[in-house]
Every structure is written in C-alpha cells, then in structure tokens.
A and B are shown apart, each in its own frame.
Chain A
Amino acid sequence: MRRFEELSEKKLGWKSLPIGGYLLEPGSAMKYKTGDWRAFRPVIDQERCVNCLLCWIYCPDSAIIRLEKFVDVNYDYCKGCGICANECPVKCIKMVEERR
C-alpha cells in the first residue's frame, strides 16, 4: 500500500510546477493522484471478503479493484468516503484514520 504521506510529498513544489497552474500535457487527469484528500482509509480484511462486489458497485470513485477471490483498494484515488465499509455485508472493511 502506498502511504498517504508519500502521495502528498510526490506533488511538485512551486519551483517545478508549470506557471499559472497550466497543464502542459493533454489527457493527463489520470496522473492527478487524489488519494491524499482522504481523512479515513478503508482497510479490507481480505480473509473475510466474500467477493460479493457490492463495494465495487457502490464506490463513487471506481477505486475498488477486482481481484480473483477478493477486492482491493486503489489508494491513489480513494477519497475515503466510507461507502464501501457501510455497504459491506460481512463488515470486513474498516475505516482507519489517516495521519498527517
């Protein structure tokens, strides 16, 4: 899991950013990692996951990754809304506070 702090640290500072907030590369929205907006991080107990995919359906940010026997979270984009944890029928998703 990529750490939340790393994500923020990787963002460019004023010296290396293009001036005026310009985006010089078209179609680059995927490169904008929004995971550091999170206040809480969903942590999935994959042993207990029944792979029902309700979280995958409900996630408003398409941040649930489908694997063969269970799901995972894409922490680059997950904003920590907690809908997945709320919908999980076996309650195997825990929301853990991010620390700054």
Chain B
Amino acid sequence: MVKVIGLTGDEAVAYAVKQCNVDVVAAYPITPQTIMVEAFSEYVHNGEVNTEFVCVESEHSAMSACVGASLTGARVFTATASQGLALMHEILYIASGLRCPIVMGVANRALSAPINIHNDHSDMMGSRDCGWIQIYAENSQEAYDWVIQAFKIAEDPRVLLPASVNLDGFILSHSMEGVEVLEDEEVSKFLPPRKPVITIDPTKPVTVGALCLPDYYFEVKFQQIQALKEAYKVIREVNKEYEVLTGRKYGLLETYAMEDAEAAIVCLGSTAGTAKAVAKELRKNGKKVGVIKPWIYRPFPEEDLIKAVGDVKALAVLDRACSFGAPFNALCNDVIGTLYRHGKNLNVFNCLYGLGGRDMTPNDLKSIFNEALEVAKTGKVKEYVKVVGVRE
C-alpha cells in the first residue's frame, strides 16, 4: 500500500535524508532552509537515526566539515540557502574538486542587498559553475524523490561529485502537500551503504588537497569535466531503477504537452507547475503550447532538450535569477547555446521574473505563452529579454 504523509518541502527533504542512513550532517540554519535541519535534528534527538550531527558556527564551516567527513568515506548531507550558500562558495569548489559525493538541500532564496528572504534562484545560479550536479524540484514529492536518487548518483564511482537538490524557498519549502514515501527498508535496499573509492585512513596514508601546479591542475579539472559527462548515463540508470521501485518516472528533464506544440516555456522549479496548469487551460482554447522543465540543470540536459524541442517554432525561457550585464540570463544562455550547437534555428526569448519572491501569476504565464505563440507565427522576436512584473 502506498504511504502518503503531509510534508512541507523542507520536511520532505529531511524525511528522505532520514531514510538514506546518512552518517554525518553538518549544517547551519538559514531561512527558508531551517526546517530541513531542524526536522532532522529532531530525528537525531529521538534516536531515529544513527547520524553524527555537527552544529557549526557558519556555512563555510558546515561545508568544510562535510568535505572532511565525506573524505573518510561517510555519507554526508547538508542544507542551506541564499547568503549561506554564498558563504560556502569557495568550499563548494573544494567539495567537487576533491570528489566528495555530498548531497545538499537548497531552499532557493534571493541574495542581499536589499535583504530578502523569499524565493529566486540567485543563490544556486551564483554558484552555477562550482562543478556540482544541480537538480531543481517542482514540488515536495520531487524534492523527496530527488534526495534519495541524488545520493545514488553522487556516490557512483563513475561520478563521485556532490549534488544539490534545489527547491523554491517558501513556495515549496514551507508548503505542505501529500508526499508518497517509501518504507525505510525499500530505501536501504535502493541505496546501500556508500562504498568509497579512496578514503583517508591512518593505516593507508594518502595526501589530499596537495598543491597542484600548472603541470597537473588542468588534468585534474578535466577529470571533473568527464565525471559530469558520465553523470548523464548514471542519472538515467538511477531514474530507471527508481521508477521500478516507485512507479514515478524521472529523467534529465520533463516535458508537458510537447508532442504537437508550436510554442513552449522552458523553466525550472515550481513555476513549471503553474506553467503546466496554464498550458492545459490554453490548450482547451486550441492553443498549442507546452512546457519543458529541466530537472537536472548541471550537467545541462542538451540531448533531451533538443529532443523535447522537436518542431517547436518559439521558446520562452524563464529565468528567476539575473545574470547582470549578460546577453541573456543563465538558463536562456544554456538553452540558446544548446540550440546553436545542435544546429537548431528557432526563435527564443528570455523572461526575467520573480526576483525576491515576486509571484509569477497564471496571468503572467498566459501572456508569455501568447507572446511565444505570436513569435512562432510571425517568426519575429519583439523583445529578446523581457522583464516580467516589474513596475516602471
């Protein structure tokens, strides 16, 4: 029988982490991630998990402790958001550089200044090039499912890279929904204890983090590039195995109503849910629109995107973080780069929206869909980077 429990996004992450038999959690609370570690610390207090919970003085220390713990061969989790992720920034590169398969929950939140606690993707996009696998969830169910899969992907010896599971702050982190959960034993079977490749062990000494000069550094970094490429395959394998277990189908990206679509929206996270509902509504009026939602942002799902785009004539790419001064914002740059690389010539425009938690309403999405349809019809882009919902 399927077990459904009411969980907020943060609680769903904590619940998944509990079932993943994590050895070490080192974290520092920050809104809107706090509930993840708060809920998890209750599990520790109640003796429901056998986890070393390290209370640290900052996120910089949290990630540092995670790196150290991961090097010993432990399964490690942490969570953060916004300024916390920014403070971790330099250690994020060390975690991926030292090939530590840490999993991190990120309740995406805007960056200061001005100070703001609400959702946008500035935090993770600010660390976009840190070499981590980056996953975006649309709802609590996906956050739960991806955390379990993330450990399996990250710890695979072909990958050995850290992974972040992103969920929109407040919109998901604090909203309760019914989440189908697995039994503990099912998760244990799906995710057996970590089998580390190299560990720090006093009986077999190794040097980790040694100076690496121009004659070796590039080779070590290239290994990381290759590992992220390997991740495509591993993600697909893990998704398939998870589907057998749960019946829930995951992949590098999700498509909605794309079969005969003329125009589509590409977006990350919870906005995709609203976009699907609006697309459904518009389709009732005969408007052929669809939605493409990358689950995996890094490595970027190039092949899947090209397949999903098919014969679509116009794309509206939605970005919830600003890449100041860039020709397009981050997701749109990736989409356009992918299309160019695969010789796909279609009209694309970028929408910057929702900074600091400004709502993306169904009406906003409706007008974006309509504009995309017009671009598809006329073959002309009116505005390459549109800013949605800002006052003049």
Contact = CB atoms under 8 A, between A and B. Distances in A.
A18 B219 CA distance: 10
B324 interface: no
B99 A19 contact: yes
Given A13-B219, A20-B97, 16 more contacts: A14-B222, A17-B220, A19-B227, A20-B99, A20-B198, A21-B97, A21-B209, A21-B210, A21-B220, A22-B198, A22-B208, A23-B208, A23-B210, A24-B206, A26-B205, A26-B207
A20 B226 contact: no
Contacts of A37: 213, 215
A65 to B, nearest CB: 23
B223 interface: yes
B390 interface: no
Nearest to B211: A21
B222 A19 contact: no
Interface in A1-50: 8, 11-14, 17-24, 26, 36-37
A29 to B, nearest CB: 9
Interface residues of B, number: 23
Contacts of B220: 14, 17, 19-21
Interface of B: 97-99, 160, 197-198, 205-210, 212-213, 215-217, 219-220, 222-223, 226-227
Contacts of B198: 18-20, 22, 24
Contacts of B160: 19
For A11, A13, A20, A24, the residue with the greatest tally of chain B CB atoms inside 10 Å of its CB is A20
A49 B104 CA distance: 64
B210 A19 contact: no
Contacts of B97: 20-21
A71 B160 CA distance: 49
A36 B214 CA distance: 11
A64 to B, nearest CB: 23
A24 to B, nearest CB: 5
For A8, A13, A18, A19, the residue with the greatest tally of chain B CB atoms inside 10 Å of its CB is A19
Nearest to B98: A20
Q: Is the interface of A mostly helix, strand, loop or mixed?
A: loop
Contact of A22 (B207, B219, B222, B226): B207
B96 to A, nearest CB: 9
B208 A20 contact: yes
Contacts of A18: 198
Nearest to A13: B219
Nearest to B217: A21
Given A19-B160, A19-B223, A36 B209 contact: no
Nearest to B219: A14
Nearest to B96: A20
B99 A26 contact: no
Nearest to A36: B215
For A8, A14, A23, A24, the residue with the greatest tally of chain B CB atoms inside 10 Å of its CB is A14
Contact of B206 (A8, A14, A17, A22): A22
Contacts of A13: 219
Contacts of A11: 215-216
A8 B216 CA distance: 10
Contact of A17 (B207, B209, B219): B219
Contacts of B216: 11, 17, 21
Given A22-B207, A23-B207, A23-B210, A17 B223 contact: yes
Contacts of A21: 97-98, 209-210, 212, 216-217, 220
A20 B226 CA distance: 12
Contacts of B207: 22-23, 26
29 contacts: A8-B215, A11-B215, A12-B219, A14-B219, A14-B226, A17-B220, A17-B223, A19-B99, A19-B160, A19-B198, A19-B220, A19-B227, A20-B98, A20-B198, A20-B208, A20-B223, A21-B209, A21-B212, A21-B217, A22-B206, A22-B207, A23-B206, A23-B208, A23-B210, A24-B198, A26-B205, A26-B206, A26-B207, A37-B215
